[in-house]
């Protein structure tokens, strides 16, 4: 092939390539324009639909959708839907339909979705609270006398049927659990900004034929596991020949301030006659719960 023919051949190739690229770019612009037009059309259509559907109907639809979808998706549709989702009335109605009410009905629910989501998430943060798995989940702090043991419960706890309990001996017996709030799903921002109530409960009972002592200490800890707030009531003593009825110890932490990252729950006791065996205090059905505040 001569030099002139090679030059002409290359020129033709370049010309055809540029022409093809120009056609491709033009086609791409056409597709973009079509997509943009379609998006505008859809937006106008949705806007018209939002204005045509009464908010009462929209709210009824939202109340029948999962709450997390309502917050994460529907709330972002428009300003009107955002105001509806953020309203106390919406969450009050959702709570009413799902049977979620504060213990004191005379008190108003928390504003917005706080009461709903905390209540739905509420559960006992203590592991193995009823001795059903021996001592799994518990750290033995003190194991005096004949050591901790598990017994079968024959005395009914009010409103509960608990088959087993932990029982102490003739020297001090203590056990504890450390609750990591972040691992349980309660992050730092949640705990610091909302400061939800933290409710603790513990059931304890003596033997009827032996005196005993019960004690409990629950601490709210910071990131370094230093106490921020502590509940440690006086020790409870039972005389010999008592009615051996179960008693409940309760406490609610409120307004404890920012920084709570862990909860340390410690309880136990001993008998006061120093008898060999397991004549000391019994404990079971313990609980630690993050609860919605009933008022602000």
**For residue 246, what pLDDT is reported?**
96
**For residue 42, what pLDDT is reported?**
42
**For residue 92, what pLDDT is reported?**
82
Q: CA 192 → CA 93, 186, 197, 217, 253, distances in Å?
A: 27, 10, 12, 23, 14
Q: Which residues of the chain have pLDDT under 70?
A: 1-52, 100-112, 114, 293-296
**For residue 80, what pLDDT is reported?**
86
**For residue 163, what pLDDT is reported?**
95
Nearest to 202 by CA among 250, 155, 245: 250
How far is it, in rounded angstroms, from Cα 94 to Cα 87?
A: 11
**For residue 19, what pLDDT is reported?**
53
Nearest to 178 by CA among 220, 142, 136, 144: 220
**For residue 9, what pLDDT is reported?**
46
Nearest to 241 by CA among 274, 273, 276: 273
**For residue 227, what pLDDT is reported?**
98
Find tokens 């406490």 and name the residue: 251
How far is it, in rounded angstroms, from Cα 229 to Cα 260?
A: 9
Q: How many CB atoms lie within 10 A of CB 222?
A: 14
Nearest to 221 by CA among 194, 256, 189: 256
Q: Which residues, 6+ apart, have CB-to-CB distance to 69 below 8 Å? A: none
**For residue 220, what pLDDT is reported?**
98
> What's the CA angle centered on 247, arms 132 and 255, to 5 degrees?
95
**For residue 100, what pLDDT is reported?**
67
Please tell me the pTM assigned to this model: 0.69
Are residues 279 and 212 in contact, defined by beta-carbon separation less than 8 angstroms?
yes
**For residue 89, what pLDDT is reported?**
83
> What's the CA angle centered on 267, arms 265 and 269, to 5 degrees?
170
Q: Tokens in use for 22?
A: 């120009």
Nearest to 265 by CA among 194, 193, 181: 181
Beta strands per DSSP E along the chain: 139-143, 149-152, 164-167, 173-180, 197-205, 212-221, 227-231, 236-238, 247-253, 262-271, 282-291
């Amino acid at each position: 092939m001569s030099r002139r023919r090679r030059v002409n051949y290359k020129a033709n190739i370049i010309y055809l390539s540029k022409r093809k690229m120009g056609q491709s770019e033009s086609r791409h612009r056409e597709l973009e324009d079509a997509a943009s037009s379609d998006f505008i059309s859809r937006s106008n259509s949705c806007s018209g639909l939002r204005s045509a559907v009464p908010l009462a109907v929209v709210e009824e639809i939202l109340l029948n959708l999962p709450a997390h979808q309502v917050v994460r998706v529907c709330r972002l549709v428009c300003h009107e839907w955002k105001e509806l989702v953020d309203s106390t009335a919406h969450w009050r109605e959702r709570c009413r339909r799902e049977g979620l009410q504060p213990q004191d009905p005379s008190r108003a629910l928390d504003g917005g979705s706080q009461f709903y989501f905390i209540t739905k998430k509420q559960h006992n943060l203590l592991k193995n609270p009823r001795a059903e798995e021996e001592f799994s989940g518990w750290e033995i702090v003190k194991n005096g006398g004949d050591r901790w043991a598990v017994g079968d419960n024959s005395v009914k706890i009010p409103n509960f049927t608990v088959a087993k309990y932990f029982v102490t001996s003739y020297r001090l017996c203590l056990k504890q659990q450390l609750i990591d709030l972040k691992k349980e799903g309660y992050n730092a921002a949640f705990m610091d900004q909302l400061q939800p109530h933290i409710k603790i409960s513990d059931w304890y009972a003596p033997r009827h034929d032996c005196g005993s002592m019960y004690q409990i200490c629950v601490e709210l800890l910071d990131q370094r596991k230093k106490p921020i707030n502590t509940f440690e009531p006086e020790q409870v003593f039972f005389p010999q020949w008592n009615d051996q009825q179960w008693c409940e110890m309760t406490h609610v932490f409120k307004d404890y301030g920012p920084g709570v990252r862990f909860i340390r729950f410690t309880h136990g006791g001993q008998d006061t006659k120093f008898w060999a065996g397991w004549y000391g205090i019994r404990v079971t059905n313990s609980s630690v719960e993050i609860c919605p505040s009933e008022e602000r």
